[in-house]
Structure 1
Amino acid sequence: MMGGLMLAEVWLVTSILVVLSAGKSLLRHARHQLDPPASNMDFDHLPLRASPETDQLRNPRHGFGFRDGISDEGLNFRHSEHEGERSKYKGAEAEEEMMADEGDNDPLVVQTTKGKVRGTTLTAATGKQVDAWLGIPYAQKPIGALRFRHPRPIDKWEGILNATKMPNSCTQIVDTVFGDFAGSAMWNPNTPMSEDCLYINVITPKPRPRNAAVMVWIFGGGFYTGTATLDIYDYKILASEENVILVSMQYRITCLGFLYFDTQDVPGNAGLFDQLMALQWIRNNIHAFGGNPHNITLFGESAGAVSVSMHLLSPLSRNLFSQAIMESGSATAPWAIISRQESIIRGLRLAEAVGCPHTRAQIPEAIECLRKVNASVLVENESGTLGICDFPFVPVVDGSFLDEMPSKSLATKNFKKTNILMGSNTEEGNYWIMYYLTDLFRKEENIHVSRDQFIQAVSELNPYNFIVRRAIIFEYTDWLNPDDPVKNRDALDKIVGDFHFTCNVNEFAYRYAETGNTVYMYYFKHRSTSSPWPTWSGALHGDEINYIFGEPLNPTKKYQPAEVELAKRMMRYWANFAKTGNPSLSSDGSWASVYWPQHTTYGREFLTLDINSTAIGQGPRLRQCAFWKKYLPQLISTTSYLVPANSSNCTSAAPSSLLQHGFNKLSSHSSPFILLLAVFQFLLLLLSNSAIL
């Protein structure tokens, strides 16, 4: 009987959604589409752009920055005329970093467009050497009146700048949830934190190559934490083993990089413009270090991957690099972007938290006050009460860097046409759940989740209405044994991982393949034997990074031989892609022992990255991603009038009270079709109440 009711529910809901979708299609107006930007733009004189998308997000008080005279004159990276901030650069440390003009014959002294820099020679854990230039400034210090603003280009300097030690990390909060536990502490900044943090690092093989492929790493961390200097990003091994040039940059994160008030002083997306200025510096200077400015591959993880994908979409940066690698991140992730209105609200809440004026009418006063607050105080007051993977200050559609929502850019094919490589890990969600559901998911072995705990957790993890949460529970329940505590635990991981990471990566890859671009997909499945996290946590978010940067080749880390081989294979795939656009094909014409097929719209091929498997799969997780990307949005749309979205426990809501509330909500909607739909939905709810719960 229970199975019959479930099938009836699925059939009826599907039928209703089909009818409603057809009705909506008849009423929908044709969308205005922007012409894609010209491929050969003058990057130094790009205009700001408007779009119907940003028209809809227009702030009624402030309007558009570029329409109402509040454009940031530093946007196009012309020479800054900001009073009192002309750089005459003195570095992050002090004037002694500047040396006399000497060393013309020193191979570690390189002439950049802004001045000479002296590097150093480092030895990787493998014994191989690299040359490194660490902490090269690419922008003025974003302090004082420049806090929150887009970056200003740095002026030329005299003499030789010592670039021999890692730069400051940008100001951020330090993770103390698990104390000094290695699994979390490894992501905390390992260099001094400061607002003075806009620096680039360049690592080259030794002997230095000529016209080598360049790989530019953009670190992740939810736009609220992270630094390019982490030990896990060991550029020395990857550069020396694969004969590529590695470049990384620091960029502003937290409110310091992504506060948005739609004004010239706080235009938003400052962190993305930092990256953009760094990319321009790389394009203009990398040849002096032996790199090919016409073969630059961006790669990043999590928020770094989101950043990479946004550079693919942005009309400002898409011509500054060649191709892209995205690990566990996409611009379509629900946490990757927020509306302009929501960003302003969060900014005013921050102002209130630190004692600044905090009404819309007081935004100029709020900005002036926020500029004077200690940076560490600002970041410590950011979070408030946000949901899982809900980061306080992230990119917005600002009308310049992004002129429309990423989903629309993908749908209208308004993006850079190039090769991409991307993928995700099998247990993307567990890392976040251990932080968000700390009472239920502890970092110890033998964690089990009862049926009641599973249902309650779904309610806490998903800010949807009652019916939508029931659909999620239904989709992720193992109906052969719905009370299995291990499967319930694993299902929560998949709910978070699919929704926030895997399905968005899949969506981005599909859109690119659909346009005829060359796409390669992977699915990373290996949990390192040396992982400090519990065994059940699996291949966590970020676990592939160790292998990309070759940590298993470090003999002091005690990796297993099979893990060393996996690291070598993954490093070769990534480097091959940077050199040839094909992870299986080396620059010398040789092929990898395991062939990596292209990801197509009809086959959805991906390569398994694991010590025991090189299987070619399809997807990954096609059914679950169809649930999140196709079915659930329609269900949310058709039930938006029926039940309020709140975090109450779905097991405690009586169907009769929900029915009454649904009809109350419908009182202002006279459409008989909507009323009939409401009756159908609540009949389904009554029929399936005991079956699902």
Structure 2
Amino acid sequence: MVVHTTKGRVRGVTLTASTGKQVDAWLGIPYAQKPIGPLRFRHPRPPDRWDHGHDSHILNTTQLPNSCVQIIDTLFGDFPGSTMWNPNTPVSEDCLYMNVVVPRPRPKQAAVMVWIFGGGFYSGTSTLDVYDHRTLVAEENVILVSMQYRVASLGFLYFDTAEVPGNAGLFDQMMALQWVHDNIAAFGGNPRNVTLFGESAGAVSVSLHLLSPLSRNLFSQAIMQSGSPTAPWAIISRDESILRGLRLAEAMGCPHNRSEIAEATECLRRMNASDLVENEWGTLGICEFPFVPIVDGTFLDDHPHRSLATKNFKKTNILMGSNTEEGYFFIFYHLTELFRNEENVYVNRDEFLQAVRELNPYVNNVARQAIVFEYTDWLNPDDPIRNRDALDKMVGDYQFTCNVNELAHRYADTGNNVYMYLFKHRSLSNPWPSWTGVMHGDEISYVFGEPLDPNKSFQPAEIELSRRMMRYWANFAKTGNPSVSEDGTWTATYWPVHTAYGREFLTLDVNSTATGRGPRLKQCAFWEKDLPQLLSSTSTPQPSPPPPAKDICASSATLQSPGSATLLLLLATLCPLLATLWPLLATLWSSLATLSSTSLQASSWSLLASSSPILTTLWPLHATLWPLPASLWPLHATLWPSLATTLVATHHLPHRSTMPSIY
């Protein structure tokens, strides 16, 4: 049970899986120096040797390591559906440790699977019960490795300095991957066959390693469950990240001006770590997490969208997918009064429209109305169940399913083998209300073999589904194909390759091996193509100076009040009318512009206005344009009919680079 590593010897422990099989485990191996004191916020540093040159010293690695400092979820009290994600080991800044679990007897050149936990980059730990490594290792004869990495501001604060360089949590992961590369052979693993797998923020992390020029050569292939690098919540701009850091400094009573970065850093280093993570949360939207990765120019050399477009990523096999109800888990935490943790929750039409507004705070009215139109069942627009479920699909599509699809399509386009799934089974023992369906994270227990535990209340069909999924995941790690085992035998169900033209996926469900296309191709086309095209087609650059009526029509882009939809309809009616009146206005203008007396101008305008209330509205705008030469108006008269058809211009959230964000 003693293994030699590059930093010294470690002693492990033999454990028994729930199925009765034994495995060997080394728990809490240090892979970096303690990130405390002056090392807080910095990239990790390699650990010192622990034997200090004395071969007799062996490090005991027999206890689960600390979890990194994070907030604890208390919203639903001791409800197991939420507390299952809270840390189950003490939280500490001293947390950069990893775990290695190996089958017995010790294998040689075994496939290695490295798990990266999720939690929105603000929470999570590799030690959760639902991630219990023992069953997957014992049943599938793979080596399973996991690491703790820093989360929240301690892992992702960014000030664009050497002291606070950002992405520290990703560099933690990369140092752990380097440790695997250097040491896993001593445990019986094959360093040339390492598969990363993760869920949610863990899946985003895996995908960022696919893009990173620094870490992409430290592993072979990747599995991503409900996450991709183009998820709206995965990346924020550097400016936005600095701004959030300064807001945190202000909340902690530290210097918080842009010119005081050094002082803010020193002050934040002195603060209690738990106080830091408790003060990170300001007014954020759904799925918006305070401190997340950035394009730092080092770990990431370009934005994920551009990296994918230019094919700047690791070319390898990938397996990925999502669940049918990805949105509900997050809606619970964002609309707590409407979405209660109980049965018989319904959403009427007014509540649906208000929820769409609250879940889409950064888009303009045209975009919001388009979203309402896309997710309304127009055969039953007042159906409270369909309205409730539509909100789940709206959030789930945009935040998870569609960007997972996008990555799969990009990879398939470049000729890589892509295997895609849609997880559709709801466990009978699921503690959440029945209407929540198959939520974000529900597949994890099946990947790690929890249904095989005889002390848990899973049904035989669920046990079979878990065995099938463990085999798929392990086969992929061993051979690059979930359908093909190490000995060349095929699974009973063939998992089709996801192609750019067919977009095939396999359904993961009890008593079902159906295949499909997509998933949710229509809805994803809305987010990825229709909505951006709508906003682009309704966006017109402001001419300088603009025609008065153009000002009115274009100003509808900025309408955000509750009555905006009504005003948009009014403008849609007025603008064609103004286009018709424009030749008359141009003629009158030429006459009025020759008048030198302001009183004559005003009296002429009053006479004109008395015949048209519409022109009364235009008076303040025309009053500023009297000096314009009359010769310009024929040109405006020519342009106006086309300009008048444009009603709105899109708003862009400063730290978003692509679509308007739902969160």
Select the residue among 401, 414, 426 that pairs with 2:299.
Answer: 401
Measure, in 2, the Cα distance between the counterparts of 1:338 and 1:192: 30
SS at match of 1:585: coil
TM-score by length of 2: 0.84
AA of the residue aligned to 2:454: P
Aligned to 1:343: 241
Aligned to 1:80: none
Alpha carbons 1:642, 1:661 under 8 Å: kept: no
2:379 — aligned with what?
A: 480
Instruction: Specify the alignment match of 1:138 in structure 2.
Output: 31
Cross-structure match for 2:41: 148
Q: Counterpart amino acid of 2:531?
A: L
Shift in Å, 1:681: 4.6
**Whole-Å Cα distance in 1 between the matches of residues 477 and 32 of structure 2?**
27
> Conserved in 2, the CA contact under 8 Å of 1:456 and 1:650?
no
Q: Residues 535-556 of structure 1, C-alpha deviation per residue, up to 9 Å, x if partnerless?
A: 0000000000010000000011
Q: 1:523 is matched with which residue?
A: 422
Deviation, structure 1 residue 644: 5.4
Q: Alpha-carbon deviations, 1:50-106, whole Å to 9, x = none? A: xxxxxxxxxxxxxxxxxxxxxxxxxxxxxxxxxxxxxxxxxxxxxxxxxxxxxxxxx
Q: Which residue of 1 aligns with 2:202?
A: 304
Question: What letter is aligned with 1:607?
Answer: L
Q: Is the CA contact (8 Å cut-off) linking 1:459 and 1:649 kept in structure 2?
A: no
Q: From the superposition, tell whether residues 648 and 533 of structure 1 become closer, same or farther in structure 2 (CA, over 3 Å).
A: farther
Task: Judge conservation of contact 1:312–1:318 (CA < 8 Å) in 2.
Answer: yes
| CA distance, structure 2, for counterparts of residue 386 and residue 647 of structure 1 | 18
Judged with a 3 Å threshold, the aligned counterparts in structure 2 of structure 1 residues 344 and 580 are, in CA distance, closer, same or farther, namely same
Distance 1:146 1:516, change over 3 A: same
Q: Which has the larger radius of gyration?
A: 2
Q: Deviations over 1:407-446 (max 9, x none)?
A: 1000000000000000000000011111111111111111
The correspondence of residues 355-366 of structure 1 with structure 2, limited to 5 A, is: 355-366=253-264
Q: Distance in 2 between matches of 1:443 and 1:591?
A: 43
Indicate if the aligned counterparts of 2:365 and 2:560 stay in contact, CA closer than 8 A.
no
* Residue of structure 1 in register with 2:365 after alignment: 466
Amino acid at match of 1:242: E
For residues 204-231 of structure 1, give each alpha carbon's deviation from its aligned partner in whole angstroms, at most 9, with x where no partner exists: 0111111000000000000001000000
The alignment partner of 1:474 has SS state of helix
1:642/1:678 contact within 8 Å kept: no
Corresponding position of 1:185: 83
Instruction: Tell me, yes or no, if structure 1 residue 589 matches structure 2 residue 473.
Output: no
Q: 498, 516, 519: which is aligned to 1:599?
A: 498
TM-superposed deviation, 1:497: 0.2
Q: Distance in 1 between matches of 2:559 and 2:479?
A: 50
CA distance in 1, matches of 2:219, 2:89: 28
Identify the range of structure 1 (135-144 vs 627-636) with the bigger mean alpha-carbon deviation: 627-636
Report the secondary structure of 1:377's partner residue.
helix
Match of 1:321 among 219, 231, 254: 219
Partner of 1:112: 5
Which of 430, 454, 458 is the matching residue for 1:555? 454
- The residue aligned with 1:568 is 467
Residue 19 of structure 2 aligns to which amino acid in structure 1? T
Q: Structure 1 residues 469 and 209 mapped into 2: Cα distance closer, same or farther (>3 Å)?
A: same
Q: Which residue of 2 aligns with 1:121?
A: 14
Distance change in 2, residues 1:236/1:332 (3 Å): same
1:231 corresponds to: 129
RMSD (Å) for aligned C-alpha atoms: 2.4
SS at match of 2:476: helix
1:498 alignment counterpart: 397
**What are the superposed Cα offsets for residues 112-148 of structure 1, whole Å, 9 maximum, x if unpaired?**
0000000000001111110000000000000000000
Q: Check conservation: 1:133, 1:164, Cα contact below 8 A.
A: yes
- Look up the equivalent residue of 2:327 and give its one-letter code: G
The yes-or-no answer on 1:263 pairing with 2:161 is yes
Q: 1:683 to 1:303 in 2, by over 3 A?
A: closer
State the alpha-carbon separation in 2 of the partners of residues 487 and 651 from structure 1. 26
Matched residues in 2 for 1:145 and 1:563: separation? 49
Q: CA deviation at 1:303?
A: 0.2
Percent of counterpart pairs with the same letter?
71
Task: Provide closer, same or farther for how the CA distance between residues 436 and 127 of structure 1 changes in structure 2, counting only shifts above 3 A.
Answer: same
Deviations 1:35-54, CA, capped at 9 Å, x for gaps:
xxxxxxxxxxxxxxxxxxxx
Contact 1:449 1:485 in 2 (8 A): yes
Closer, same or farther: CA 678–427 of 1 in aligned 2, 3 Å: farther
Partner of residue 614 from structure 1, selected from 505, 513, 519 = 513
Report whether the alignment pairs 1:679 with 2:637: no
Distance in 2, matches of 1:226 and 1:674, equals: 57
Q: CA deviation at 1:634?
A: 2.4
The aligned amino acid for 2:484 is L
SS in 1 for 2:216: coil
Query: Which residues of structure 2 form unaligned runs of 5+?
Result: 52-56, 540-553, 576-617, 626-631, 650-663
Give 1:674 deviation, angstroms.
Answer: 9.9
Q: Choose which of 262, 282, 289 in structure 1 pairs with 2:180.
A: 282
Partner of 1:47: none
Cα distance in 1 between the residues matched to 2:298 and 2:192:
24
Distance 1:307 1:350 in 2: 24
Does the CA contact (< 8 Å) of 2:366 and 2:648 recur in 1?
Answer: no
In structure 1, the partner of 2:545 is none
What's the counterpart of residue 655 of structure 1?
568
Q: Is the 8 A contact 1:183 1:533 kept in 2?
A: yes
How far apart in 2 are the matches of 1:448 and 1:418? Answer: 45
| 2:34/2:93 contact within 8 Å kept | yes
Q: Greater CA deviation, 212-221 or 675-684? A: 675-684
Task: Specify the code of the residue in structure 1 equivalent to 2:45.
Answer: R
Deviation of 1:679 after TM superposition, in Å, equals: 3.3
Structure 1 residue 636 displacement after superposition: 3.0
Comparing 609-618 with 562-571, which one deviates more in the overlay?
A: 609-618
Deviations along 1:627-684, whole A, 9 cap, x unmatched? Answer: 001111222334456555787546775336877999999x99x998997676325499
Q: Is 2:140 the counterpart of 1:175?
A: no
User: How far apart in 1 are the matches of 2:217 and 2:571?
Assistant: 53
> Are 1:367 and 2:260 an aligned pair?
no
Match of 2:381, SS state, is coil
Q: Which residue of 2 is the match for residue 6 of structure 1?
A: none
- 8 Å Cα contact 1:455/1:650 also seen in 2: no
Q: 1:34 matched to which residue of 2?
A: none
Does the Cα contact within 8 Å between 2:557 and 2:648 map onto a contact in 1? no
Rate the CA distance shift 1:639–1:356 in 2: closer, same or farther, 3 A: farther
The separation in 2 between residues aligned to 1:649 and 1:440, in whole angstroms, is 20
- The answer to whether 1:630 aligns with 2:529 is yes
Letter in 2 for 1:519: V
